[in-house]
Amino acid sequence: MSGTFMHIVRSQGVLGLYNGLSASLLRQMTYSTVRFGVYEELKRRATADGSKPSLPLLIGLSTFSGFLGGISGNAADVTNVRMQQDAALPEAQRRHYKHGLDGMFRMLREEGVRSWFRGVWPNSTRAALMNASQLASYDTFKAWLMTYTPLGDTTTTHFASSLLAGFVATTICSPVDVIKSRVMSTSHQQGIAHLLSEIYAKEGIKWMFKGWVPAFLRLGP
């Protein structure tokens, strides 16, 4: 990770670390708005009688809302992945998207509406896993800390719960994250089974946790 960091700074400057920022913000405005909003609304309705939600219920609600979020944010996610990887491509293959919206609409013109849904199944699966492992584990860790430690409902409890939830979510989602990024970065259709066999042949089982450290450094905070 540190080698990649320094390579980007040397070749593109500090601003190179922010490639795809507009697409990333656009993704959060679609993906995170839906996954958080739907989850909290469903949880509110499920506990309207004052009951405490069980862990299976939280996992079910967060999985469903995450899946919806993955679908809604897919087009921006494809654009984000492509903008971040553009500088690594040979000049003739670079897309040079100006910003997130430019990338989305160029994809629509040049590749058709199906390009907006490239990798939608691994992305939605990843979003469902992310939501379930992040939101459900956050609520669970927070309840445990409030019950079994003297911390109470404090800022420290919220930060600790968030960090632990980020660790769980990063670990569970890592394999799907790798698949999602590689499917989205291409301009042609490629079967997931073929992609998996190709990755495994070249990289072995370690492919599942490639990029875990930067993923956690992004998600944990």
Q: Please say whether the beta carbons of 70 and 28 come within 8 A.
A: no
Asked if the structure places residue 1 within a domain, the reply is no
DSSP assigned state of 52: P
Q: Which residue has the higher pLDDT, 84 or 191?
A: 84
pLDDT in tens, 28-55: 999 999 999 999 999 999 888 888 888 8
Query: Into how many domains does the chain fold?
Result: 1
Kindly report the pTM of this predicted structure. Answer: 0.71
Asked if the structure places residue 48 within a domain, the reply is yes
Asked if the structure places residue 62 within a domain, the reply is yes
Q: How far is CA 183 from CA 14, 105, 119, 162, 192, in A?
A: 27, 19, 6, 29, 8
Asked if the structure places residue 5 within a domain, the reply is no
Asked if the structure places residue 151 within a domain, the reply is yes
Q: What is the DSSP string of 78-111?
A: HHHHHHHHGGGS-GGG-----SHHHHHHHHHHHH
pLDDT at 192: 74
Asked if the structure places residue 8 within a domain, the reply is no
* Average pLDDT score over residue span 205-217: 87
pLDDT in tens, 173-184: 888 888 877 777
pLDDT in tens, 58-95: 889 999 999 999 999 999 999 988 888 887 788 888 88
Q: Domain range spanning residue 106?
A: 20-219
Q: What is the CATH number of the domain that holds 95?
A: 1.50.40.10
Asked if the structure places residue 9 within a domain, the reply is no
Asked if the structure places residue 2 within a domain, the reply is no
